[in-house]
Amino acid sequence: MTTRIGVVTFPGSLDDSDARRAVRIAGAEPVALWHRDGDLRRQQVDAVVLPGGFSYGDYLRCGAIARFSPIMEAVVEQAKAGMPVLGICNGFQVLCETHLLPGALTRNDHLHFVCRDQRLRVENPETVWTADYADGQEIVVPLKNGEGGYVADERTLDELEGEGRVVVRYLGGNPNGSRRDIAGITNGAGNVVGLMPHPEHAVEALTGPTTDGLGFFTSALKKLVAS
């Protein structure tokens, strides 16, 4: 049976088509999900990707309006039940707004939009979305954000570090002021992951700086097939 991974499109989503392509290249069937559709069971998806972009124009606060869309009610419910969910850039912001992940993403400390190929170190290869990486593996994927600074109180940061919930960390200089160079985190169960860089833009040698991002999608596929 084909593994189906849904990719949500909000008004203002930018990278939903890229995420669907990454899912397809990884070997799963991409399923387009609309933000007003609150019935994930009808779509019969095995996992969900929240893509990058500017959901609802980021007019209130990044991800704050998307958090109340019908699709997110279903995503939160299913994520708590164990469904794999990956939030990329704006999707990471949405996951924090829904409290599926702790902390928040704030304006870059230098107050400029950043767009570059970013070195990362994989800190946790045990999540659903990172199982194809080795502990400490260094990868390069594109980064593009204006509000990508990850912040949380010291207690939360200590918990993330102590529980091994920092998934990826910036190398070669902090691009946005994220606390402790954090580029991505996971929930305690390891099925929900949010990261600011864009692995979906590093899945083909022709279009990406590397193919290092493909592992996020193949990891989920293998976990789902094995379960």
Our answer to whether residue 89 is catalytic in this structure is yes
- Yes or no: say if 167 and 130 are a contact pair by the CB < 8 Å rule: yes
Catalytic residue among 62, 96, 200, 201: 200
CA distance 16 to 87: 11
Our answer to whether residue 200 is catalytic in this structure is yes
Catalytic residue among 96, 123, 147, 198: 198
Burial of 182 (0-12, 13-18, 19+ CB in 10 A): buried
CA distance 151 to 188: 18
DSSP 3-state percent helix, strand, coil across the chain (nearest 5) = 30, 25, 45
**Six-digit token string for 11:** 């008004």
Catalytic residue among 62, 89, 97, 147: 89
Active site residues: 89, 198, 200
